[in-house]
Structure 1
């Protein structure tokens, strides 16, 4: 492994069917005022809301609710959450939901006491936090983002046609997260498979970088193989606990900063996908699936050795009698077949993108330099055209 790094992850995880009970151990560590954040109300239908509220009341907490967090949290919603947090002097933000809810909770945590416009400070200028941070806890109900154990927070500004993620430091990581795989059983199929591909994309964004013999690559190959195996089971039987528990754990490890160590990382699929989301408000995982194949086929010649390794070690492609290019290409073909099998979006046209949007989407795609090819705006447009 090359380079120098420090690894620390302060989030305490509780995992399993009895995980929610550990909320009782965490709550006494914080003051009485809790901001309960959740999405569109599915947690009220499946009973999770009642369980969480009962535990909060048992512990004498004063609850303020911030409901209606959308799949792509907006800057307007962020301002609303900041106002609620300040007015109610909250001591703890408890996010109950998927990655968007957890992302939003972290955004509120750093923005509530920001003396400037947090969109300008944290998402445009990408500055670090120098104000009070409200601690966050998460009860996860959908997997994909890994937001339960990292500092990432993505916010959308529709007026500016921008969707931007800020990866904050460990002072913004959730203090604790509760992961019960059974809580993910009622997620609609479309959202479930979008989450599966989000996990895969997180791993690939880190895997397709670097040329050294890196332990992180071996870890990621194992995570990918486990994800492919378990997701195929979950698509056929969404309530298979073993499969859903494996996927939940993979999602956490895919983006809790462990496997990025010693890697330069790529993240161009996310930059392009997020820009697509800013124009369409499409589900995040689907924006990633819709542009991934065109992107990876574009950069494959520049990272051929890694794409060959990916084909052999992850997809089981046999190398005998084939050129490196043929092996790498077959690996991407197997990836495409898997994507069609689980039912993710295969093109941006089906997400609502039109030809007229392509130049704006390209301009809204931040160009990253850690992968095998630093793209030009013209190359991004070509990738988008090939993704239509």
Structure 2
């Protein structure tokens, strides 16, 4: 384990089939006015909306609805949510949905009492909140982002063609999150598998960095194996509770900062994928899937030892009579075969990217230095072209 670090997670989790009942324990901790945040209305079809409205009313809450949160929340929607919260003196932001709703709620929470434009302050200057933060609670209906137990909030600006995430501190993390695996059963297959790959790639982003013997990497390998195993079961039977509960729990632990402790992290797949998303508005997990393999094949020679370990420990590749590179390549091939079996999109052209967008997508890619290779603009362009 490298360096010195602290670890604290401020979010309380309630997990399982009866977890929504614990909303009754949390609501009395907050004031009367609740901003109910949700997406396109699926929670009204599956009955979750009625359950939550009933619990809110039983607890004497005044409900102010904030519907229509899109899969890639926009800066315009953020400003709309801030307006609702300010006008109604909101005491609690309750996000019901997937990671986009949770991200959006956190972005609103740091913006309500801040006079500056949130896009400029948090997403261009990356400043931290200096104002009072409105507390957030989450009821998760879709797994993937891990937003239910971290401080991340990703917002898209279509005018600027930028999709940027800001990872806030403990004070912005949800105060509580409710995780009922059954709420994920009704997700369309495309959304389910996109979320599964999002989970897997969150782990990869933290795993493919560093050379030391690090406990975090051992945890990461176990999480990856769990995702692969449960994903194949869920693919055959989406209502397999054990598989879906494992996927939901792994999603949370993949990105609640635990496995990033004591090591550097990469995040370049996310930087490239988010820039693709800014141009196409494509599903986040699919943008990651489409750029992952070209990126990993490009950086593999710079982190060959870890890629060989990945092949052996996660995919069971046997190393006898093979070079390290051959083992590593077999590991990435096994990963590719799993991705194809899930039905993930593996080409950015299938997400709407055209040749004339590539330079702009590369320009919008934030370059980070935690991985095995700090990319140049030309190398990002090369990876994007190989992703086509």
Q: TM-score range by the shorter chain?
A: over 0.9
For residue 132 of structure 1, report the CA deviation from its aligned partner: 1.1
Q: Name the structure 2 match of 1:319.
A: 319
Alignment pair present for 1:366 and 2:373: no
> Which contiguous aligned blocks of 4+ residues in structure 1 show a shift greater than 6 angstroms?
none
For 1:37 and 1:108, locate their aligned partners in 2 and report how far apart those are by CA, in whole Å: 11
Partner of 2:55: 55
Pairwise CA distance, 1:160:
0.2
| Pairs within 5 Å for 1:236-385 | 236-385=236-385
Residue in 2 aligned with 1:105? 105
How big is the shift at 1:162? 0.2
Q: Which residue of 2 aligns with 1:163?
A: 163
State the Cα distance separating 1:263 from its structure 2 match: 1.5
Counterpart of 2:110 in 1: which secondary structure?
A: helix
What does residue 223 of structure 1 align with? 223
Separation in 2, partners of 1:15, 1:291 = 33
Per-residue Cα deviation, 1:339-376 (whole angstroms, up to 9, x for no partner): 00001111100000000000000000000000000000
Shift of 1:115: 1.0
CA distance in 2 between partners of 1:4 and 1:350 (Å): 43
Matched, 1:235 2:240: no
Equivalent in the alignment of 1:34: 34
- Match of 1:368, SS? coil
Aligned-partner SS, 1:227: helix
1:82 aligns with 2:78: no
Q: CA deviation at 1:41?
A: 0.1
Aligned equivalent of 2:66: 66
SS of aligned partner of 2:170 = coil
CA offset digits 1:118-169 (Å, max 9, x no partner)? 1000000000110110000000000000000000000000000000000000
The structural deviation recorded for 1:324 is 0.2
Q: Quick one: distance in 2 between partners of 1:350 and 1:132?
A: 43
Note the alpha carbon deviations across 1:197-243, whole angstroms, 9 max, x for none.
Answer: 00001000000000000000000000000000000000111100000
How far does residue 113 in structure 1 lie from its aligned partner after superposition?
Answer: 1.3
SS at match of 1:186: coil
- Which secondary structure does the structure 1 equivalent of 2:260 belong to? coil
Normalization by structure 2: what TM-score? 1.00
Q: Deviations over 1:68-115 (max 9, x none)?
A: 000000000000000000000000000000000000000000011111
Does residue 15 (structure 1) correspond to residue 15 (structure 2)? The answer is yes
Q: Which residue does the alignment assign to 1:179?
A: 179
Q: How far apart, CA to CA, are the structure 2 residues paired with 1:184 and 1:250?
A: 14
Which whole-Å CA distance do the structure 1 matches of 2:238 and 2:100 have between them? 21
Counterpart Cα distance in 2 of 1:184 and 1:286: 18
Between the two proteins, the alignment pairs up a number of residues equal to: 388
Tell me the CA shift for residue 191 of structure 1.
0.6
In the alignment, the residues of structure 1 paired with residue 2 and residue 24 of structure 2 have an alpha-carbon distance, to the nearest angstrom, of 42
Please tell me whether residue 189 in structure 1 is matched to residue 189 in structure 2: yes
CA–CA distance in structure 2, aligned partners of residues 381 and 102 of structure 1: 32
**Correspondence 1:133 to 2:122:** no
The alignment partner of 2:258 has SS state of coil
**SS of residue matched to 2:153:** strand
CA distance in 2, matches of 1:277, 1:381: 16
Post-superposition shift, 1:2?
1.0
CA RMSD of aligned residues (A): 0.3
